[in-house]
Structure 1
Amino acid sequence: MAERGIVILGSGSLTRSICYSLAAVCAAECVVTVVSTTPSSSAEVCYVADVRAASSGTPVRFRALSADRYAAESISSILRQTRPRIVLNCASYQSPWEKTRSPSAWTALMNSAGFGLTLPLQAAVAIEAASAIAALDPPPLFLNACFPDAVNPLLKTLELPIFCGVGNVALLAASLRESLRPARGGRLQVLGHHWHLHTPDHAADEALAWLDGTPVREVGPLLRRQRAAARSELNAVTGHVTALLLADLVTGREVRTSLPGPLGLPGGYPVRIYGRSLALDLPADMSPAQAVALNSAWAERDGVSVEENGEVRFSAWASLAIRSELPDFPNAVHARDIPELCSRLLDLRGRLRRTRAASADHH
């Protein structure tokens, strides 16, 4: 594999935010390849990022490649051509903010069933990418940005490669760092789940944080500004934090941070990365078993959990909500059946998107 190089799958708003920040912060000579099924979109991202890099005086360069679809064969061909150190997946079949931009009966169903219902739509491209990476020797590091708290454990049960995710707990950690403003070099550790992007009903269910080994009290109020911001705006933060991580990873620098889905674990954890190795970096009063148990409990509240045996279980309320449209929707499926379930949900979404959300009918 090339010593330095990044392939990013997808050309949506998160990819744009990552590339635009990476152009300004990456001091290493590096080629970032943006792969999209919409050539004009990836070309536009790379143009803007290249201009930002030139204006910032950084040596990073961007190039656009297209794929007819995000399938393992297409991705494999691109990876053999580019030989990257890192592959980052930002492509999925479901936008997290569709409900605010294009409300419909589909987004109403997501609201009632919970975000966990979209796991098959979030996982489909990641499975294809991981399958392509598994055939390479040595494989690049695979990072996933699409619901990594649940998708990464799913990849692990399928015995597919996964290094870590980005976003979610990393966004929580960035927001807490802004609120706490620790001294330079201060060590912030955050344990949290995608579910914590929203305020829990009970303070006891809040994400956990430690600053220099001491528990942070009243985490919820410290996250108030983040939780009040539009999700689409938060991509500017997630993208920047991810760019900083990538800039460190391409050079092999040691990193201590908090990331979702490290090595396929559910939820998000403090981690230490050194070279191609990753380990949990938990505070002294938190064991790995305790941390996983907490994240597994938080996953239930998000509407879906992935068991070590490969069983993907949807919560009772999520299953009940979707059975109004798909009466035979299962409570649980095996991870290997997720692509088929994705196809069924795509068909359902196509039909429901043509139906206005019930609330819109009363405006």
Structure 2
Amino acid sequence: MSERDVLIVGGGSLTRAVCYALATIGTAACTVTVVSRTGSNAAEVCYVANVRAALSTSRVRFRPVTVERYSAGTFGPILRELSPAIVLNCASHQSPWEGTHTPSAWTDLVRRRGFGFTLPLQAAIAVELSRVIATADAATQFLNACFPDAVNPVLKATGLPVLCGIGNVALLAATLQARLGLRDQAGLRVLGHHWHLHTPHRADHEAKVWLDGASVPGVTGLLAPQRSASRAELNIINGHVTALVLDALLSGREFLTSLPGFAGLPGGYPVRVRDGDIELCLPDTVTLEEAIALNQRWTALEGVQISEGGAVSLSTDDVHPVAEAPEIPDRLHVTDLPEVCRQMLQLRSRLRRQDAGREY
């Protein structure tokens, strides 16, 4: 297939949003292969996306592939066959929406421990996919959509490739562009985190924003409409921004935005996409060390910390462990994540059978 093709893993709502947007705004000719464990989902996504592309006279085409499971054994042959320019992972073992759609004792635990507690579940598929990419004889760019603020640092600490994440700070920047009435994000710089999808408890924990070099006040108010919107609606915006990033990478054009997990860094940063690659684009008044320190602090607020050496803590000064999950270690190494993921899946299965709000 073409050297500029895209492989998307996952058949959920984010994959749909990305494909539906790319079908209409894509300027580069490419084929997008959607890999899903549910064949009907992949087929439906590709059907709708192909119709949208035809109506938009786009040169982007979509095709479905069904697999029994997400694993290195299934990813390897597909990657060898396609040699895609870009792989986008939208699959994990834990939906961020579960607490809203199907609350249980499990979602109560995640709420108390912080979303960072689910890191092993978020990272498992991304690690397998990145490991296959690392062993392939191709210059494939890997983008991860699943909790990239924390998962991408895991990939970096494991020595695995990752270009960037999508969503989270990209959503903040898109909202701010609209709220500030900007034509584009050329003068906008946003440092933010998955943590900022919700209103921080303290004003000094808010995302940092600059416009044309000057700090922007009132960020909490500017982000209020986003924070009151449903996650399903926000995924439409995430999909659109992701499609713009993919098209810029494929076409080589310039596009300024903010993205999470760039080059395995924690949290999100302003970036410039150009010439088929991505580079940091920090404000002149902020050093990289300062930006990383801010994002590490925000990561800790979500109940997880990852060191460059690969040490992982699932409890922090801000979020303490609770007694109902003794089988899950508070401190581990990135190499322990597959086993901890298995333990966490067993714990989740047990707690999902218990109602939310119960003592257990």
TM-score (norm 2): 0.96
Matched residue, 1:330: 329
> Matches of residues 189-200 of structure 1 in structure 2 within 5 Å?
189-200=189-200
Which amino acid is 1:320 matched to?
Answer: P
> Matches of residues 271-290 of structure 1 in structure 2 within 5 Å?
271-290=271-290
248-257 or 26-35, larger mean C-alpha shift: 248-257
Which amino acid is 1:331 matched to?
Answer: D
Structure 1 Cα separation of the partners of residues 49 and 19 of structure 2: 6
Evaluate the alpha carbon distance shift between residue 221 and residue 359 of structure 1 in structure 2; reply closer, same or farther with a 3 A threshold: farther
Identity in percent: 54
Evaluate the alpha carbon distance shift between residue 214 and residue 318 of structure 1 in structure 2; reply closer, same or farther with a 3 A threshold: closer
CA offsets per residue over residues 105-126 of structure 1, 9 Å max, x none?
1111111111001111100000
165-174 or 208-217, larger mean C-alpha shift: 208-217
Shift of 1:222: 0.4
Shift of 1:137: 2.1
1:166 aligns with 2:148: no
Matched residue, 2:32: 32
> Matches of residues 90-101 of structure 1 in structure 2 within 5 Å?
90-101=90-101
Structure 2 Cα separation of the partners of residues 348 and 79 of structure 1: 33
Query: SS where residue 118 of structure 2 aligns?
Result: helix
Shift of 1:183: 4.4
Structure 1 Cα separation of the partners of residues 312 and 185 of structure 2: 40
Query: Structure 1 regions of 5+ residues with no counterpart?
Result: none
Query: SS where residue 358 of structure 1 aligns?
Result: coil
> Matches of residues 53-202 of structure 1 in structure 2 within 5 Å?
53-183=53-183, 186-202=186-202
Contact 1:141 1:276 survives alignment (8 Å)? no
Which amino acid is 1:356 matched to?
Answer: D
CA offsets per residue over residues 180-213 of structure 1, 9 Å max, x none?
0124574211001110111111111110111122
Contact 1:148 1:165 survives alignment (8 Å)? yes
Shift of 1:276: 4.7
CA offsets per residue over residues 41-80 of structure 1, 9 Å max, x none?
1111111111111111111100001122111121111111
> Matches of residues 173-252 of structure 1 in structure 2 within 5 Å?
173-183=173-183, 186-252=186-252
Matched residue, 1:352: 351
Shift of 1:83: 1.5
Structure 1 Cα separation of the partners of residues 41 and 126 of structure 2: 20
Structure 1 Cα separation of the partners of residues 332 and 97 of structure 2: 26
Structure 2 Cα separation of the partners of residues 290 and 22 of structure 1: 35
Contact 1:17 1:235 survives alignment (8 Å)? yes
Which amino acid is 2:353 matched to?
Answer: R
Evaluate the alpha carbon distance shift between residue 71 and residue 319 of structure 1 in structure 2; reply closer, same or farther with a 3 A threshold: farther
Shift of 1:277: 3.6
Which amino acid is 1:157 matched to?
Answer: A
CA RMSD between the two structures: 1.6
- The size of the alignment, in residue pairs, is 358
Evaluate the alpha carbon distance shift between residue 185 and residue 353 of structure 1 in structure 2; reply closer, same or farther with a 3 A threshold: closer
> Matches of residues 257-276 of structure 1 in structure 2 within 5 Å?
257-276=257-276
Contact 2:88 2:145 survives alignment (8 Å)? yes
Shift of 1:327: 1.8
Structure 2 Cα separation of the partners of residues 186 and 256 of structure 1: 6
Shift of 1:319: 5.2
Matched residue, 2:321: 320
Query: Structure 2 regions of 5+ residues with no counterpart?
Result: none
Query: SS where residue 321 of structure 2 aligns?
Result: helix
Contact 2:7 2:35 survives alignment (8 Å)? yes
Shift of 1:346: 0.6
TM-score (norm 1): 0.95
Which amino acid is 1:327 matched to?
Answer: P
Structure 2 Cα separation of the partners of residues 2 and 165 of structure 1: 24
Evaluate the alpha carbon distance shift between residue 166 and residue 85 of structure 1 in structure 2; reply closer, same or farther with a 3 A threshold: same
Contact 1:319 1:329 survives alignment (8 Å)? no
Query: SS where residue 34 of structure 1 aligns?
Result: strand
Structure 2 Cα separation of the partners of residues 154 and 269 of structure 1: 17
CA offsets per residue over residues 141-182 of structure 1, 9 Å max, x none?
000000000000000000000000000000000000111012
Query: SS where residue 263 of structure 1 aligns?
Result: helix
Shift of 1:274: 2.9
Shift of 1:328: 4.0
180-189 or 123-132, larger mean C-alpha shift: 180-189
Structure 1 Cα separation of the partners of residues 77 and 303 of structure 2: 36
Contact 2:177 2:185 survives alignment (8 Å)? no
Structure 2 Cα separation of the partners of residues 76 and 319 of structure 1: 39
